[in-house]
Amino acid sequence: MQNDWDRFFVLTGGPGSGKTSLIEALQAKGFATAPEAGRGIIRDQMAIGGPALPWRDRALFAELMLSWELRSWQTARAEPGPVFFDRGAPDTIGYLRLCGLPVPDHVATAAEKFRYARRVFVAPPWPEIFTQDEERQQTLDEAERTFRSVISVYAELGYELVPLPLAPVEERAHFIIDQTGLR
């Protein structure tokens, strides 16, 4: 692998499509992982009564998401092998577009500079497993719109989109391992 990003594999898609469970399964198999920004930021902001929540200040929430993703990317450079990311910097652009907010130049630059492996794994909407909770307040409709917004950004940035099967977590994990050639 020539560049760090050749070993940085992104899992993206809409909320509630099984990405986090899949990341946890890959971590249990011994792979390095980077957690999703959104849930972590929501959890932290709720704990401190902060304003950077998607239902309060979407632009500020997006800035914190970008910051989290860039920090995760930099931290992953210290890992000796492959790293699986629960979303990546381009997801921030997808989120801003979904919200009808402008994409600042620095966000677009970050998505161009902080690259990942060419093949991006996409978790399609999956109504049968979709749930809402205190941190995931989106509806299924919004999750589907998020999915479309995010994958369009990755495609525009030249990534190859690899849809994940609607299958149990273990089967999805094996699919990713096979697709990356890490077996």
> Residue 57 is part of a domain; what is its CATH number?
3.40.50.300
pTM of the complete model:
0.90
pLDDT score of 93: 97
**Whole-number pLDDT of residue 125:** 76
What stretches of the chain show up as alpha helix (H) in DSSP? 19-28, 37-48, 58-76, 90-98, 105-113, 140-156, 169-180
Q: Please tell me the predicted confidence (pLDDT) of residue 64.
A: 96
Domains contained in the chain, number: 1
Write out residues in the chain with pLDDT < 50, as ranges: 1
Amino acid at 65: M
Full domain range(s) for residue 117: 4-180
d(CA 15, CA 179): 23
Q: How far apart are CA 179 and CA 120, in angstroms?
A: 10
- Predicted pLDDT at 15: 76
Chain-centroid distance, C-alpha 97: 15
Burial class (CB in 10 A: 0-12, 13-18, 19+), 76: buried
- For residues 123 and 164, the answer to whether their CB atoms sit within 8 Å is yes
- Cα–Cα dist 141/138, whole Å: 8
